[in-house]
Amino acid sequence: MWFELVTKIDIDIHKKNRYASYDLRRKIEMQHEEFQKMTEREQVPLLKCISSDLI
């Protein structure tokens, strides 16, 4: 949800000033990638726990 909201804000900024949004877009992408890395790390151990409990 956060990513969708920020992306919409970025699109609005881009419509007003094409160059002003470049830096913002780069920061958004970096934060989104970092968020994905964090959630992937957290999900893998959780899946291992769940699968070991089922066995």
Which pLDDT score, from 0 to 100, does residue 20 have? 64
- The span from the CA of 41 to the CA of 55, in Å, is 22
Q: How confident is the model at residue 44 (pLDDT cuts 50, 70, 90)?
A: low
Of 2 and 8, more confident: 8
What's the pTM value of the predicted model, to 2 decimals?
Answer: 0.44
Q: How confident is the model at residue 45 (pLDDT cuts 50, 70, 90)?
A: low
- The span from the CA of 47 to the CA of 53, in Å, is 10
* 10-43 pLDDT per residue, tens: 777 777 776 666 777 788 788 888 888 877 765 5
Residue spans of the domains in the chain: they are 2-54
Mean pLDDT of the chain: 70
* Helix/strand/coil percent split, the chain, to 5: 90, 0, 10
